Amino acid sequence: MSLSHIRRHLALALAAPFLLASQASQAEVQVVTSIKPLELLVRAVAPEDVQVTTLVPPGASPHTYTLRPSQRRALSEADAIFWIGPDMETFLERLLAGSDFRDRSHALNTEPGAGHPHHDHADHDEDAHADDDHGHDHDHDHDHDHDEDAHASEHDHDHGHHHDHGDGPDPHLWVDPAQALKMAHQIRDVLAGLDKMDKAELDRNLDAFEAALTAKEQAIREQMEPAKDISLFAYHSALTRFAEHYGLHLAGILTLNPELSPGARHVQEVQEKLAKANHPCLLTEPQFNRQWWLSITEGLDLTFSTWDPLAIDIPATPDGYLAFQQSIADAVMQCLPEQAQH
């Protein structure tokens, strides 16, 4: 039984008078999330009538996005704003540190060493940087004026959770189901603090989500058992936490910083790893240009698969996060020699 069906059956147990009153109040709740995976977690926990707006659109990257002026209004009207934190959505850091948003914004990356909003920028107005109504999600198929060799000549993904564009832990928490569950609990606590919210329904939804996620996690572990001997390579560190959680072999990361072109020395190191790897598979991401991958892997015997850390094609339903986890597992399984794409 899907999470949606579980929630539907639970809803039928509610008394009708209380249900009508609850729906009328919940319809007023406005939530903004920075990226689609956080919307999926809100959908898993919140009542169905809660309105959710996601800022980073399909095809864009939170690493390089610029806030649209029209999105400032959604933030202004939100009862709660959920984001990972300044190590991920740099375009929100100064704005959400301001007095207009500080009490309503909630950074879900609370790990030790994670960046935190700098409140000394509170009076900064982000609209000055968003004077046209489009996001600047830069493709990574063009050359930059500088590369990352100077920043990370010896860096390797094996150094724990240290990520590729800062000194703190890897901010791609949401790909790890254990971290996602922690974030779901944080979301529940924030929403429960709103006067308009039915706390009992939040608790029922969270319990149902936790049970369904536990079952999905176990199924994925069994599904991916044959993939544990494959050498996986990723564009950047977004896959790291998923791979570590499920015991997969992430052998290399192509770029240490998605905002910079990888330097020649690092590319050569990755190419050498690819040449020596056991059944190497390169997992590309739709936010970045696949042709660029092909240009630096020409002549190497490897396979390709594609996964989307931003879950763009996943329906925003109570089951959405479960489907997101499954989509990553399916992408990894496409790396198996009998299913792989060359």
Mean pLDDT of 41-61: 95
- Split at pLDDT 50, 70, 90, the class of 8 is low
Answer with the residue of higher pLDDT: 145 or 322. 322
- Split at pLDDT 50, 70, 90, the class of 275 is confident
Q: Which of 42, 78, 39 is nearest to 57 (CA)?
A: 39
Q: What is the pLDDT of residues 146-196, one digit of tens each?
A: 444 433 333 343 434 444 444 567 899 999 999 999 999 999 999 999 988
- Split at pLDDT 50, 70, 90, the class of 21 is very low
At 122 the pLDDT is 35
Instruction: Name the amino acid, one letter, at 162.
Output: H
Q: What is the pLDDT of residues 265-274, one digit of tens each?
A: 877 888 888 8
The domain defined by 17-122+162-215 folds into Rossmann fold (3.40.50)
Mean pLDDT of 309-336: 97
At 168 the pLDDT is 62
Helices (H), the chain: 3-12, 16-26, 36-45, 69-77, 93-96, 149-152, 177-192, 199-223, 240-246, 264-276, 290-296, 320-333
Q: And the tokens for 210?
A: 């936790």
- pLDDT above 70 coverage of the chain, percent: 71
Residue 261, helix vs strand vs coil: strand
- In order of 41, 257, 312, the CA distances from 53 in angstroms are 13, 28, 14
Q: Is the pLDDT of residue 255 over 90?
A: no
At 338 the pLDDT is 73
Whole-angstrom distance, CA of residue 9 vs CA of residue 1:
11
User: What is the total residue count of the chain?
Assistant: 342
At 290 the pLDDT is 61
Q: What is the pLDDT of residues 58-97, one digit of tens each?
A: 989 898 899 999 999 999 999 999 999 999 999 999 999 9
Domain range list for the chain:
17-122+162-215, 224-333
Q: Which of 1, 18, 2 is nearest to 201 (CA)?
A: 18
pTM of whole model > 0.85? no
At 254 the pLDDT is 80
Answer with the residue of higher pLDDT: 333 or 18. 333
Q: What is the mean pLDDT of the chain?
A: 80
Q: What is the pLDDT of residues 277-320, one digit of tens each?
A: 888 999 988 877 666 677 778 888 888 899 999 999 999 999 99
Same fold, 17-122+162-215 and 224-333: yes
Q: Is the pLDDT of residue 16 over 60?
A: no
CATH superfamily of 224-333: Nitrogenase molybdenum iron protein domain (3.40.50.1980)
C-alpha angle 234-184-328 in degrees, rounded to nearest 5: 25
**CB 177, CB 213: distance < 8 Å:** yes
- Split at pLDDT 50, 70, 90, the class of 222 is very high
